[in-house]
Amino acid sequence: MLGISSAGSAQERPPSATDDCEAHGPPIVILLNGPRWSPAFRKQVLSNLQATLRDQGFSLCTNQALEARAPATVEIRTHELPRVSVGIEIRDRVTRKRVSRSVDLAEFPQDARALALAVASDELLRASWMELALSDSAAFVRPPPPAVRNTVARETRQAARTWLGLAFAWESYRGGEHHLGGDFTLTHWFRSRIRRRPPRWGLDLSLGGRSGLRAQSTSGSVRATVFSAGLVLLVRLASGSTSGLSALLGTRIAYVSFEGDARAPARDDQKAGILGEARIGLRASLRVHRAIKLRIDGGALVPIQGVEAQDGEERVTAATSVGAFLNSGVAFGF
């Protein structure tokens, strides 16, 4: 059951208190018809529809007298028991057609049925307007309102999944090494199988260079020069309209060259090695433009293959113990 008990047609009722006809944009007329519409369930469905329509620049209206001015009418019709399916019909006055679908509410928990109807109605309405993306709007008898054109543009616009970036980079190791530099990054997010859901998985490739802070020794000082490449798996934890939070797990390999600057009578020396490390952390991002994103990474790193510089028997500096990293920068989507 729908979980509602009163009978009658919602169409026969006066407009509800949720009506905001043309207060937030062109009206979309909503008709809730058929038996078993309780006041509580009717209010839940209208409230959910009102929220999604306002986000798209439309007003919700239950006054059937305004149908002629509305870009579309959405009729949701219940059926007699024992059926629990609900019919949704869109009367689209922009593209001059009708589309419909049936929703089986038995597939949803009782407290999720109002939201399910609102989501299904919204998806069907936007699907009807997608014809505008394939045709010249001048060909339609009724010019599409700006809110309709904006909705179609949002649906057809592909969100950037590949990003090129520049980032400031810092690493610090308990063995004494501290590296400062930058990276070029290439990030790709894999398309979600669920429509309109942000991608959940991504890969990040980085290439960069670093300069180590000078470390003092008995005979002089040592400084590192670093060239590195990294690969990170990204798992999206949360996302909003302009922000996101992801977990990251990856590895980084670096060529590290230590150059000594000795005081007489000692002589300058040079030593090189390969640094390999694992990384785990978080990435926070903020989109400031459709194709521009600010982001910051931070977390822990664990050297798998470490490097160190020595002055005779004295260890001057090393990247052999656990440490921390912090990257911040900007990325451009395409």
pLDDT in tens, the chain (334 residues): 444 433 333 343 444 434 567 777 899 999 999 887 889 999 999 999 998 898 888 999 998 888 888 999 999 998 876 667 899 999 999 888 899 999 988 888 988 999 999 999 999 998 888 878 766 555 666 678 888 888 877 766 656 689 999 999 999 999 999 999 999 999 999 876 544 566 789 999 999 999 999 999 888 999 999 999 999 999 999 887 688 999 999 999 999 999 998 887 778 888 999 999 999 999 999 999 878 999 999 999 999 999 999 988 889 999 999 999 999 999 999 8
Residue with tokens 């509800």, as numbered in its chain: 16
24 CB-contact burial (10 Å; exposed 0-12 / middle 13-18 / buried 19+): middle
pLDDT at 110: 87
* Fold entry, domain 162-333: Porin (2.40.160)
- Distance (Å, whole) CA 146 – CA 266: 77
Tell me the C-alpha distance between 301 and 55, whole Å.
42
289: CB partners within 8 A, 6+ apart:
none
Q: How far apart are CA 228 and CA 255, in angstroms?
A: 6
Amino acid identity of residue 94, one-letter, is V
Residue 112: phi, psi to the nearest 5? -110, 0
Tokens of 186: 């290439």
What is the model's pLDDT at position 18?
45
According to the model, what pLDDT value does residue 79 have? 80
- Taking the CB of residue 234, how many other CB atoms lie within 10 A of it? 23
Radius of gyration of the chain (CA): 30
pLDDT of residue 17: 39
Q: Is-above-0.85 flag for pTM?
A: no
**């020396």: which residue's tokens?**
269
CA distances from 330 to 203, 205, 238, 282, 327 (A): 17, 15, 20, 16, 10
How far is the C-alpha of 178 from the C-alpha of 277, rounded, in Å? Answer: 15
Domain residue spans of the chain = 10-155, 162-333
Out of 3.90.550, 3.30.230, 3.30.2170, 3.40.50, select the CATH number for domain 10-155.
3.40.50
CB 51 within 8 A of CB 26: no
Q: What is the DSSP string of 58-74?
A: -EEE--GGGGGGSSEEE
